[in-house]
Chain A
Amino acid sequence: MTVNGWLQILAFCAALIILSPILGRYMAKVYTGERVFLTPVFGGFERLLYRCLRVDPKRGQDWKSYARSLIIFSLAGWIILYVVLRTASIQPWNDYGGVTFHAAPWDVTFNTVSSFLTNTNWQYYGGETTLTYFSQMVGLTVQNFASAAVGIVTAVALVRAIASRSGKSLGNFYEDFVKTILYVLAPIAFVSALVLVSQGSIQNLSHYVSAHGISGLAQTIAMGPVASQEAIKLLGTNGGGFFNVNSAHPFENPNGFTNFYEMLIVLIIPASLVFMYGRMVGSRRQALAIFAAMFVMFIGGVTVAYAAEAHGSAAQHAAGLHTQVIANSTGGNLEGKEQRFGVAGSAIFDVVTTVTSCGAVNSSLESFTGLGGAIPFANLSASEVIFGGVGTGLYSILLYVLLAVFIGGLMVGRTPEYLGKKIEAKEIKLVALGLLITPLTALFSTALATASAAGRASIFNGGPQGFSETFYAYLSQANNNGSAFAGYTGLIQPAAGNAGAHGVTFADLLGGFTMLFARYAPILFALAVAGALVGKRVSPVGLGTMRTDNPTFVVLLIGVIVLVGALTFFPALLLGPIVQALTGHLY
């Protein structure tokens, strides 16, 4: 480890802590209908959109109506995206150095569509050898925005329910959606795309370039509208790379600065939502408590991952390589990492994108050391509440907060209440179901894939690493993360452009259903909890009220999250990454 590495980590934390309260305050204004500086720019257009959709933004929806709009909207998105991806061969801009791209096989497309709808962006395909520019822009970029907005509005609805004093309304789905796109996602994405281009990310619709290398070798260089997709892929914690190697590709992530910037736009909205929550419920201290719990776990993960990767891997040591830092070299486990990011820049990036539901990577998780690779596992095992995905992080940790309040209430022997609202049997049942459904789906799918020959066909590496690949695949898809131990395969592609390609149907379908179920079931439970809380009367704070804004509660909250995650996943984690971390044995 180096001083410079720690400096990058510190600078990143500082930037996050300074910027997220600012954006949080802005978002609170957006969702409570106050004027913001963009209102004069987009206000008229916003009203035009409502007229176009025949939506009355003043008409609030109860939780069932809100959920219905959300589900039907997602269904429409699923159908349109499937049609877009399957019609690749007739799309414009379809000439990639003499190769015409065809649609990916139906089973892979099913997986991809489910993946982008659910903000997962799990990819069994390599972008530059599979998808046309048209599919990337009109298909995937649109869902990168839409799926992120769906996550955010769910969180906003739950926050409104906790903050409300009476009534049934959680707000209006389409109003929240339109505002999320116009006032939050689109402006930041646009500016970010230009920032990335200014550093070397590409943005064009050209043919792939044929270069004639100086030693006589030819090289074909993939092109495309990369920056516009890269920006929203990170900002919306989507994570689906334009290129196969995702943010490791120099055209997606050209230098140390873009690496820093990309990490920042991944975490900025999840962190800001916490402060937005604080403002909407009228208590900055509640927000700080939640932020503190997230931050402590985040720093823990970064530290372990950085230390493990700086130490180097068993295979490196067996080959006789020296992995300590020497002059002018990064040292550490540089297998599957880029020189310009080094060990620290890779370790933080991959922790940032696995605590959120982003799942972008700038280095190969499959090649992380046993312990370094265990951190993404642990992040996913905590159900992505350490900042988490846009929206999903906040609503998931709020469910954990309710659970912690309930457990705390049992300890002190009082009726549990949160911000003056009594938490009763009905809410706790919904909370428990909402929290357990994702881990259970992950374990069920992993078991199915490990126990069947059809599932084992997808494995690339042998030994415990093979189990890690499988487990990570379904853990990642269930948590709608999308990062991968990328040896695990679901598409067999003999040549670029999909001529003769076929999917691994079992892995494609199991993954697709895992993502859909583990996305929409928790959303429904979160909205149901919102529905149960929204009309509850607020009782005044008394001497016996359990505080939820002090360090004791932060510790309790972390304890509950770790306990649930550990109890659920520890046996499975033992079989893969932990075995590898504890041994120098090669398999």
Chain B
Amino acid sequence: MRRDFVTAFIAMIVFTILLGFVYPMLVTGVSQGIFPGKANGSLIKRDGVVVGSALIGQQFYEPVIGKNGKQLLVKGVPQTQPDPRYFQTRPSSTSDNAAGSGFSNLGPNNKTTLVAFQGYIQTYLALNKAPNGQMYDPAVTTAAQIPVDAVDDSASSVDPNISVANAKIQAYRVAAVRGLPLTTVDAQVATYTTARSLGFLGEPGVNVLELNLALDRLSGSK
């Protein structure tokens, strides 16, 4: 019996060294040697500053300016809202927190889920409505015309992609706000659309961060 315990502990210690140190360090070493960019998070830099990761969704928000000309505070929390110049990522239950991902856990038959969807629909329609009261994209006026990805929470809460349909609707707004021709913005959407892997695995998606960076380069603004 004592022999059994000694063997068990020796085995656990030996395998802890092999599988807990040697194996991950070997993978780390080889990865850092062959795929350093990917192994370190596919980070994107602009002017030497990391602006995010190509694989991680983020919010493109601007401060809400109050009547006094300063950023609005609600209970001490600075308020932000989607910046209309930028394509917006999918709804996220964690506000795209890349250091603490989480599911929304909204059930399929729950009233809270309905309320959340109604909120997302309202936000989306409001964002894509021009100051003159017309929709930027005249084909999208009600919930039924919104692609589901635009108003359903992502799983990871940091989904970097949106559907092409969603991007094409937002393209109307971005083009108008930035004063760019719609065809130019649509061409950028096409450039930053990732096709299905090997042509049939997964779904196509538009990488929002890369698309927004390209638009900033076109507009010459930051």
Contact = CB atoms under 8 A, between A and B. Distances in A.
Interface of A: 4, 7-8, 11, 49, 52-55, 68-69, 72-73, 75-77, 80, 96-97, 126, 128-129, 137-139, 141-142, 145-146, 174, 177, 181, 186, 189-190, 193-194, 197-206, 208-217, 219-223, 225, 227-229, 243-245, 248-251, 254-260, 312-316, 318-323, 326-342, 345-346, 361-364, 366-370, 373, 460-465, 485-487, 496, 580, 583-587
B59 A213 contact: yes
Contacts of B34: 194, 197-198
Contacts of B35: 197-198
B9 to A, nearest CB: 5
Interface in B143-163: 143-149, 151-163
B212 interface: yes
Nearest to B89: A339
Contacts of A256: 196-198, 201-203
Interface in B9-26: 9-16, 18-21, 23-24, 26
A211 B52 contact: yes
Contacts of B86: 214-215
A206 B31 CA distance: 14
Q: Is the interface of B mostly helix, strand, loop or mixed?
A: mixed
A251 B109 contact: no
A156 B8 CA distance: 20
B40 A194 contact: no
B100 A126 contact: yes
Contacts of A321: 117, 121, 143-144, 146, 148, 151
A312 B42 CA distance: 33
Contacts of B117: 315-316, 318-319, 321, 335
A320 B113 CA distance: 13
A218 to B, nearest CB: 10
A440 to B, nearest CB: 28
Contacts of A68: 4
B174 to A, nearest CB: 13
Nearest to A68: B4
Nearest to A182: B18
A320 B54 CA distance: 33
Contacts of B160: 250
B135 interface: no
Nearest to A256: B202
Nearest to A134: B20
Contacts of A463: 107, 109-110
Contacts of B103: 244-245, 248, 336, 364, 366-367, 486
Nearest to A318: B114
Given A221-B52, A222-B99, A335-B153, A366 B107 contact: yes
A212 B109 contact: no
A373 B101 CA distance: 22
5 contacts: A210-B50, A248-B103, A320-B144, A335-B108, A367-B107
Which residue, of B63, B109, B114, B168, has the highest number of chain A Cβ atoms within 10 A? B109
A254 B100 CA distance: 17
Contacts of B142: 320
A195 B211 CA distance: 27
Contacts of B20: 137-139, 141-142
B200 A314 contact: no
B108 A314 contact: yes
Contacts of A333: 108, 148, 152
A415 B149 CA distance: 59
Nearest to A344: B203
Interface in B83-117: 83, 86, 90, 96-114, 117
B109 A587 contact: yes
Contacts of A315: 106-110, 113-114, 117
Interface string B24-49: 10111011101100111111001001
A221 B8 contact: no
Contacts of A366: 103, 105-107
Given A76-B5, A313-B109, A335-B113, A364 B104 contact: yes
A242 to B, nearest CB: 10
Given A321-B117, A496-B100, A255 B197 contact: yes
